[in-house]
């Protein structure tokens, strides 16, 4: 009874919550060059990913093995190639290119910090890919890119069909006595697959045209839109450079440029006629997650007087010392990253 | 005329932003040094943490603008359908690659991408590169912050294939495409390493000695590349070249036949 009540609690779109969760986790993972923050995000990400994710993706190596390789690699690489720091472990002959000089504990520690950043980022997106199905990801494609959205739709629809076609061609060739001995033997498989695919593309194009695709709207953008897009890009680019000279003006220009492009994308998207099979409005839990995400992003990104943002960067040079955490940043990160556990209790059961 | 000018401006700015997004780790020590003289400049440490995020945002915006612009110029029903099907084929090839791993960084998707760019032109090649990476990431569950960088780099592979000269003689054509795919095998690895280079080296070069110049940063990256990636990438280069030598000619012929059918218009 209690479970039934819980299951009825969340009626929104869980991928929306997971998207916000990923943005917070990824921003902290990228911004914090401090192994303590990285570890915090890594642990929460693994817990949440295991609790809510389906089966992990079978493509690629398991994350633990990749993490060990990355950490070992970055510790050894940075340790051997950077010769800064006061705790000298041993010395390599100074005439060795790149490697020669004192090998320090601080350089190895910096390598570990860098490795932790990469591992955390991988873990965040491994969890994201487990938590959000690809059908939901396709929905995130901006509506302004309508034609390219159709390309993705056709591609995703035809992936299983192409895979089946590949199997059929191999069977048909095997019946004719074709054997796979070398690379050349792929010719009678790949070429019919390609030609069959292109023939299908012709018939898809013809059926699209016969249903009126491209008949009513001109795909070409008006000059005013092109001008605004170019202006947005230029402002973003100048803003990026200016952040190194006049910090506030750089950030301002970058934000305005980004806002111009984002608003234009939204406007262009609104002009695209579409039908919705099922509308998914924002529910209370989505708004709570949005508020938590905004608070966490403010705490991490803005120079607020109550927050010590210098803790985000841990530099072990010149002599090794313990990294520190800011309690407000740590609390905001922990609470907002664990929030979906509360909000989505019983969802999907 | 104005539209062509604006279009050219968008391509030019996108090109600069794309190159900058990959190469900024080399520029940061110099930018930090130049900015240090300004009273309103932020400290290098403040930039160290936000530079990758700002560059990522700029790259995503730029990719969006570029796709909008190309969509407005190059997309008809036939192009949409052909792109969709060819992208589906490359996504299936990426599945095969997961099932049967090749030597080093060998990937089956570069040869079709280069041939499609060569046959159908630079815009089609760019779109095929970006869409192939996007769709294969969606179907294999590999979406992450590396995706926009992969999309850009693969887009450049297809784009530059469209710029190759049309040479006479099938053997010369295949030799050119094989050499081109060999070079891209190494280049793709070298530029994709740059995506995580700031994390390995420290965003403002602190991993190295502070204050080193562009030339020295590039030299150190080259050392890193030779030590860690070149053998892996050679697997990709040789794989690409062999695939093009063995399967290139019939593929070019088949796609050229369809190009003529796609370009057919009643006037």
- Give residue B13's pLDDT: 93
Query: Are the Cβ atoms of A159 and B91 closer than 8 angstroms?
Result: yes
Query: Are the Cβ atoms of A162 and B77 closer than 8 angstroms?
Result: no
What's the gap between Cα B217 and its chain centre?
Answer: 22
Is A349 a member of any domain? no
Query: Are the Cβ atoms of A205 and B261 closer than 8 angstroms?
Result: no
Query: Are the Cβ atoms of A244 and B47 closer than 8 angstroms?
Result: yes
Residues A283 and A338 in one domain: yes
Query: Are the Cβ atoms of A258 and B57 closer than 8 angstroms?
Result: yes
CA distance B142 to chain A (A): 7
The mean pLDDT of chain A is 85
CA distance A268 to chain B (A): 10
**Full residue range of the structural domain in which residue B169 is found:** 2-262
Query: Are the Cβ atoms of B246 and A223 closer than 8 angstroms?
Result: no
Is A306 a member of any domain? yes
**Full residue range of the structural domain in which residue A255 is found:** 222-273
Q: Report yes or no: B153 and A70 within 8 Å, Cβ to Cβ.
A: no
Residues A174 and A269 in one domain: no
Is B254 a member of any domain? yes
- Give residue B205's pLDDT: 46
Query: Are the Cβ atoms of B81 and A208 closer than 8 angstroms?
Result: yes
Measured in Å, how far apart are chain B's first and last C-alpha atoms? Answer: 24
Tokens of A171: 């069977």
- Between A2-6, A10-14, A171-175, B152-156, the lowest mean confidence (pLDDT) is in A2-6
DSSP notation for chain B: -HHHHHHHHHHHHHHHHHHHHHHHHHHHHHHHHHHTTSTTPPPHHHHHHHHHHHHHHHHHHHHHHHHHHHHHHH--HHHHHHHHHHHHHHHHHHHHHHHS--STT--TTHHHHHHHHHHH-HHHHHHHHHHHHHHHHHHHT--STTHHHHHHHHHHHHHHHHTS---SSHHHHHHHHHHHHHHHHHHHHHHHHHHHHHHHH-TTSTTS-TT--HHHHHHHHHHHHHHHTHHHHHHHHHHHHHHHHHHHHHHHHHHHHHHHHHT----
CA-to-CA distance for A319 and A105, rounded, in angstroms? 9
CA-to-CA distance for A104 and A84, rounded, in angstroms? 7
Residues A155 and A77 in one domain: no
- Give residue A5's pLDDT: 44
Is A217 a member of any domain? no
Average of pLDDT values for A272-286?
Answer: 78
Measured between beta carbons, the chain B residues lying within 8 angstroms of A134 are: 138-139, 141
Domain count, chain B: 1
Tens-digit pLDDT profile for residues A108-154: 998 899 899 989 999 999 888 888 887 788 777 788 888 888 899 89
CA-to-CA distance for A80 and A72, rounded, in angstroms? 12
CA distance B208 to chain A (A): 6
Residue A2 pLDDT level (bands cut at 50, 70, 90) = very low
What's the gap between Cα B157 and its chain centre?
Answer: 5
Is A24 a member of any domain? yes
Max avg pLDDT among A208-212, A257-261, B193-197: A257-261
Residues A11 and A125 in one domain: yes
Which residues make beta-bridge pairs with A91? Answer: A102
Residues A248 and A204 in one domain: no
Measured between beta carbons, the chain A residues lying within 8 angstroms of B69 are: 221, 226, 229
- Give residue B53's pLDDT: 86
Residue A283 pLDDT level (bands cut at 50, 70, 90) = confident
- Give residue B16's pLDDT: 93
Tens-digit pLDDT profile for residues A248-257: 888 999 999 9
Look at residue A3 and tell me whether its pLDDT is greater than 60.
no
Is B171 a member of any domain? yes
Nearest beta carbon to residue A246 from set B38, B91, B202: B38
Query: Are the Cβ atoms of B84 and A153 closer than 8 angstroms?
Result: yes
Tokens of A267: 């406007």
Residues A296 and A336 in one domain: yes
| Test mutation, B13, B22, B61, chain A, max A CBs within 10 A | B61
Is B193 a member of any domain? yes
Q: Report yes or no: B121 and B263 within 8 Å, Cβ to Cβ.
A: no
Nearest beta carbon to residue B75 from set A147, A166, A183: A147
CA-to-CA distance for A127 and B152, rounded, in angstroms? 24
Residues A133 and A13 in one domain: yes
Tens place of pLDDT per residue across chain B (267 aa): 788 888 899 999 999 999 999 988 888 777 777 766 655 545 555 565 678 888 899 999 999 999 988 887 767 888 889 999 999 999 888 877 766 666 667 888 899 999 999 999 999 999 999 999 999 888 877 788 889 999 999 999 999 999 999 888 888 999 999 999 999 999 999 998 888 777 776 544 444 455 567 777 787 788 778 877 888 889 889 989 999 999 999 999 999 988 888 776 655
Q: Using CA coordinates, name the residue in chain A closest to B52.
A: A30
Residues A252 and A287 in one domain: no
CA-to-CA distance for B98 and A156, rounded, in angstroms? 18
Is A216 a member of any domain? no
What does each C-alpha distance from A15 to A135, A337, A347 come to in angstroms? 10, 14, 12
Is B267 a member of any domain? no
CA-to-CA distance for A237 and A233, rounded, in angstroms? 6
Average of pLDDT values for A335-344?
Answer: 91
Q: Using CA coordinates, name the residue in chain B closest to A145.
A: B68
CA geometry: angle at A68 spanning B205 and A310, to 5°? 40
Residues A29 and A76 in one domain: yes
Q: Report yes or no: A83 and A107 within 8 Å, Cβ to Cβ.
A: yes
Residues A243 and A334 in one domain: no
Residues A130 and A168 in one domain: no
Query: Are the Cβ atoms of B247 and A187 closer than 8 angstroms?
Result: yes
Q: Report yes or no: A158 and B138 within 8 Å, Cβ to Cβ.
A: no
CB pairs under 8 A between A and B: 299
Look at residue A82 and tell me whether its pLDDT is greater than 90.
no
Residues A108 and A15 in one domain: yes
Tens-digit pLDDT profile for residues B122-180: 999 999 999 999 998 888 777 888 899 999 999 999 999 999 998 888 889 999 999 99
| Test mutation, A26, A58, A147, A271, chain B, max B CBs within 10 A | A147
Nearest beta carbon to residue A213 from set B16, B77, B86: B77
Q: Using CA coordinates, name the residue in chain B closest to A186.
A: B247
Domain count, chain A: 3
Is B186 a member of any domain? yes
């Amino acid at each position: 009874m209690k479970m039934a009540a819980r299951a009825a609690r969340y009626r929104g779109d869980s991928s929306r919550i997971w998207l916000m969760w990923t943005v917070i986790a990824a921003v902290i993972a990228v911004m914090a060059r401090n192994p303590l923050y990285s570890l915090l995000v890594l642990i929460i990400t693994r817990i949440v990913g295991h609790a809510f994710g389906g089966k992990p993706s079978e493509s690629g190596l398991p994350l633990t093995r990749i993490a060990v390789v990355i950490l070992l690699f970055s510790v050894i690489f940075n340790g051997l190639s950077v010769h800064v720091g006061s705790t000298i472990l041993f010395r390599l002959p100074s005439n060795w290119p790149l490697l020669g000089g004192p090998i320090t504990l601080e350089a190895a520690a910096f390598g570990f910090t860098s490795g932790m950043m990469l591992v955390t980022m991988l873990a965040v997106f491994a969890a994201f890919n487990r938590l959000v199905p690809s059908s939901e990801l396709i929905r995130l494609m901006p509506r302004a890119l309508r034609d390219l959205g159709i390309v993705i739709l056709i591609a995703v629809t035809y992936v299983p069909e192409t895979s089946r076609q590949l199997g059929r061609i191999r069977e048909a060739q095997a019946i004719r006595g074709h054997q796979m001995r070398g690379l050349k033997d792929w010719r009678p498989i790949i070429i019919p697959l390609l030609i069959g695919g292109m023939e299908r593309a012709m018939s898809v194009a013809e059926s699209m045209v016969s249903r009126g695709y491209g008949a009513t709207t001109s795909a070409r953008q008006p000059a005013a839109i092109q001008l605004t897009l170019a202006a947005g890009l230029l402002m973003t680019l100048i803003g990026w450079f200016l952040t190194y000279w006049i910090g506030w003006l750089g950030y301002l220009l970058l934000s305005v440029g980004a806002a111009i492009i984002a608003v234009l994308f939204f406007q262009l998207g609104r002009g695209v006629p579409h039908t919705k099979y099922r509308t998914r409005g924002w529910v209370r839990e989505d708004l709570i997650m949005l508020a938590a995400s905004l608070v966490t992003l403010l705490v991490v990104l803005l120079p607020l007087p109550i927050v010590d943002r210098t803790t985000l960067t841990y530099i072990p040079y010149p002599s090794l010392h313990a990294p520190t955490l800011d309690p407000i940043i740590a609390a905001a990160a922990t609470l907002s990253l664990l929030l979906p556990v509360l909000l989505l209790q019983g969802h999907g059961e | 005329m104005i539209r062509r000018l604006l279009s050219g401006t968008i391509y030019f700015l996108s090109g600069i932003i794309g190159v900058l997004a990959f190469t900024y780790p080399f520029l940061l020590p110099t930018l930090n040094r130049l900015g240090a003289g300004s009273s309103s400049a932020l400290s290098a440490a403040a930039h160290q943490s936000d530079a990758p995020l700002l560059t990522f945002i700029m790259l995503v915006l730029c990719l969006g603008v570029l796709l909008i612009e190309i969509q407005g110029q190059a997309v008809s029903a036939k192009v949409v359908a052909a792109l969709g099907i060819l992208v589906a084929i490359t996504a299936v090839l990426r599945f095969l690659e997961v099932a049967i791993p090749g030597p080093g960084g060998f990937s089956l998707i570069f040869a079709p991408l280069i041939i499609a760019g060569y046959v159908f032109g630079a815009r089609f090649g760019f779109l095929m590169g970006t869409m192939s990476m996007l769709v294969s990431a969606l179907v294999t569950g590999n979406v992450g912050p590396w995706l926009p960088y992969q999309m850009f780099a693969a887009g450049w592979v297809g784009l530059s294939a469209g710029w190759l000269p049309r040479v006479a003689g099938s053997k010369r054509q295949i030799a050119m495409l094989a050499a081109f795919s060999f070079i891209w095998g190494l280049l793709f690895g070298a530029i994709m390493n740059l995506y995580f280079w700031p994390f390995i080296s420290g965003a403002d070069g602190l991993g190295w000695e502070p204050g080193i110049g562009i030339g020295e940063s590039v030299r150190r990256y080259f050392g890193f590349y030779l030590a860690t990636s070149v053998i892996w990438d050679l697997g990709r280069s040789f794989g690409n070249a062999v695939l093009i030598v063995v399967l290139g000619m019939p593929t070019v012929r088949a796609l050229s036949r369809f190009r003529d059918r796609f370009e057919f218009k009643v006037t």
